[in-house]
Structure 1
Amino acid sequence: MRIVVALGGNALARRGEPMTAEFLRANVRSTCEALAKLASDSEMVITHGNGPQVGLLALQNLAYQDVAAYPLDILGAETQGMIGYVVQQELSNALGGDREVVAVITTTVVDEADPAFDRPTKLIGPQYSADDAAEAAAAYRWTIAKDGDAFRRVVPSPEPVAILQAPLVDRLLESGSLVVCVGGGGVPVRIDSRGRQVGVQAVVDKDAASAALAAEIGADTLIMLTDGDYVTENWGTPGARDILTASPDAISKLAFAEGSMAPKVEAAIRVARAGGRALIGPLDRLDDLLARTIGTEIRPDVDGGIVYV
């Protein structure tokens, strides 16, 4: 079975933890140990987010003012190398070295006319208080948005058009390797009039890019691991209902928060409409998610459209 596993932010950095290398490695280690059994029996691709890390690197860049800060595309590539290295190493360790694990720096083609460039929504970097957020916005000309009870920087998040390394990923899987790629949604690039790649100042949503990759390599399943037990209709209201299974057409009629569950649902819809299936559920209960006793599954053939828990 060919599987794409998209690791949410909690697999790398948990809320309230300092973003240190030690915490990154500890979180990745526990994540890879949870994935080891599935990885040993499957053709697996692991993708991951980078929102907190790319924002932290941007802040660190600003601290050294003798040179211009590096742009977001280069910082995105830097996070792919940093996080990909740790995932590659810890997954190999969890498997006892029995499978080759390869980390690939990935580029994602986007459309420079995408309306996302006029409406930044992708949360990156650490959380701020209201006062600190206002100060950062004024000092760095950032766009700031609410994130729960705090505030974070937001940047454009265009839709992925294609994953340029998808053919390479396909060949690596066929050779028996496990692949870590599409980190942070892949480095966003546009193709200019001469056919050359040019970096773009944005961060592609990793779930959307993971869905694009899953379609391009013919994956059977996309698994999006997060800290929630289910996709929930009317979340945070008295009418909230957890969704066990849904068809892409039925769930596409529901509204979800743009900064949280919406990208995962949209990615799942993309995979299901291509004939695959998508699972959304908790990292710490992966076995239960696969056994379908927890989490939400989106697939084409659901009688009645939506089945609630």
Structure 2
Amino acid sequence: MSKIMIALGGNALGNSPKEQLELLKEAAKPIVDLIEQGHDVVIAHGNGPQVGMINMALELASKENPSIPSVPMTECIAMSQGYIGYHLQNAIREELLNRQINKNVVSLVTQVIVDKNDPAFENPTKPIGIFYSEKEAKQMQENGIPMVEDSGRGYRQVIASPTPLKIVEADSVRALMNQGYVVVTVGGGGIPVMEEGDAITGVKAVIDKDSASEKIADELDMDYLFILTAVEKVAINFGKPNQQELDVITVDEANAWIEEGQFPPGSMLPKVQSAIRFVQSKKGRKAVISSLEKAKDAIIGKTGTTIVTNNQQ
């Protein structure tokens, strides 16, 4: 059987805790299908909308009441790891029990080391939080908050997204997986930290969860990387009359479309780049990008976009 890394997109998890609970109950079914088949599964999840809302709510509370302290972004990421992981592990646990499968599920608060000199800190590109109108975005930009238009869906705040160098808890994830646990890890891309001697300190940033998923998938020697997002397939000319959805693409084709600027930074671009890195990291590896709703079909090759090396086509 195979070892499979599944990365769930934060935008596919709903806009409220209640909606998230319902969506994750459905997401748990194709995940448990894989577990039932005997595959080892490790799960990551996004947190773009959720961490943005947590951060904004705490900032507004702090401004409204000076006795309430401002909370750094790293702590907001940790909070999002906790509550999304809580919902996800319980949804998977319930589905496992419904099928009389005796497996434990655990969410691990995960830190990811980044380089303090990463150029991403000078060029924020990662959208977080809710969507705003153009008028609202302009007002926020006037207040010093960087904003970007996100794939025709509205405007969102952007933050630095440095490259993940090392997963601090990778050995712990490996040990749990070897003991038969289903592990939820690198939630929201992990908490970005820097090493300073023996100490680890947080840094204001959001690591792309697909990049972190690829990194830990490589460290754990996984066979497949499934990136599940809000769309069924990767497309070129997205949102235009000549939009074309892609089924199976090679690394060379993907790189050519990246050069053309076909994939927006902060949304589809890091997904495609992570898929490329994964399939090139070891012979025989495959990556699939598809939607949460179509996960079951994507897992068995009926839909989604599969990225392969040039000699796998």
TM-score over 0.5 (shorter chain): yes
Question: What do residues 123-176 of structure 1 show as CA deviations (whole Å, max 9, x unaligned)?
Answer: 11111122322333444x311111224211110011111111111111111110
Q: Single out whichever of 285-294 and 200-209 deviates more from structure 2.
A: 285-294
Question: 2:157 & 2:310 partners in 1: Cα distance?
Answer: 39
The residue that corresponds to 1:72 in the other structure is 73
Alignment gaps of 5+ in structure 2: none
TM-superposed CA distance for 1:239, in Å, is 4.6
Write the distance in 2 (CA, Å) between the matches of 1:280 and 1:206.
14
SS at match of 1:47: strand
Name the structure 2 match of 1:27: 23
Identity of aligned residues (%): 35
TM-score normalised by length of structure 1: 0.90
Distance 2:16 2:237 in 1: 35
Specify which of 34, 39, 42 is matched with residue 39 of structure 2.
42
From 90, 101, 104, the counterpart of 1:100? 104
SS for the counterpart of 1:127 is: strand
Q: Corresponding residue for 1:113?
A: 117
Q: Write the distance in 1 (CA, Å) between the matches of 2:153 and 2:214.
A: 30
2:175 paired residue number: 171
Aligned partner letter, 1:185:
G
Aligned AA (1:130): E
Q: Where do residues 46-57 of structure 1 align in structure 2 (5 Å cutoff)?
A: 46-57=43-54
Q: 1:93 to 1:82 in 2, by over 3 A?
A: same
Q: Is the 8 A contact 2:11 2:48 kept in 1?
A: no
User: CA 1:79 to 1:250, structure 2 compared with 1: closer, same or farther past 3 Å?
Assistant: same
1:246 paired with 2:234, answer: no
Could you tell me how far apart the structure 1 residues matched to 2:223 and 2:175 are? 16
Matching residue's letter, 2:307 = I
CA shift digits 1:39-90 (9 cap, x unpaired): 2321111100001111101111122222341111111011001111110111
The Cα of 1:238 is off from its aligned counterpart by 4.9
Give the match for residue 63 of structure 1.
60
Question: AA paired with 1:4?
Answer: M
Q: Is the 8 A contact 1:246 1:302 kept in 2?
A: no
- The secondary structure found in structure 2 opposite 1:292 is coil
Partner of 2:279: 272
What is the alpha-carbon distance in structure 2 between the residues aligned to residue 34 and residue 290 of structure 1?
A: 8
**Alignment correspondent of 1:129:** 133
Match for 2:6: what amino acid?
A: V
User: What's the RMSD between the two structures over aligned residues?
Assistant: 1.7
List aligned pairs for 1:196-235, cutoff 5 A. 196-235=199-238
SS in 2 for 1:252: helix
Once residues 287 and 159 of structure 1 are traced to their aligned partners in structure 2, the CA distance between those partners, rounded to angstroms, is: 30
1:285 maps to amino acid: K
Indicate if the aligned counterparts of 2:246 and 2:305 stay in contact, CA closer than 8 A: yes
Equivalent position to 2:184, from 163, 177, 180 = 180
Paired residue total: 297
Q: For 2:5, what is the secondary structure of its paired residue?
A: strand
Q: Deviations over 1:218-241 (max 9, x none)?
A: 000000112322222333345543
- Per-residue Cα deviation, 1:260-291 (whole angstroms, up to 9, x for no partner): 21111000011001122101112222232123
Q: Would you say 1:85 and 2:86 are equivalent positions?
A: yes
Deviates more, 1:159-168 or 1:292-301: 292-301
Which consecutive unaligned segments of at least 5 residues does structure 1 have?
A: 14-18
* CA distance, structure 1, for counterparts of residue 95 and residue 216 of structure 2: 25
**Counterpart code for 1:286:** A
Alpha-carbon distance change, 149 to 269 in structure 1, aligned in 2, over 3 angstroms: closer
CA–CA distance in structure 2, aligned partners of residues 143 and 240 of structure 1: 29
State the AA in 2 paired with 1:20.
S
Contact 1:187 1:203 in 2 (8 A): yes
| Contact 1:184–1:206 (CA under 8 A) maintained in structure 2 | yes
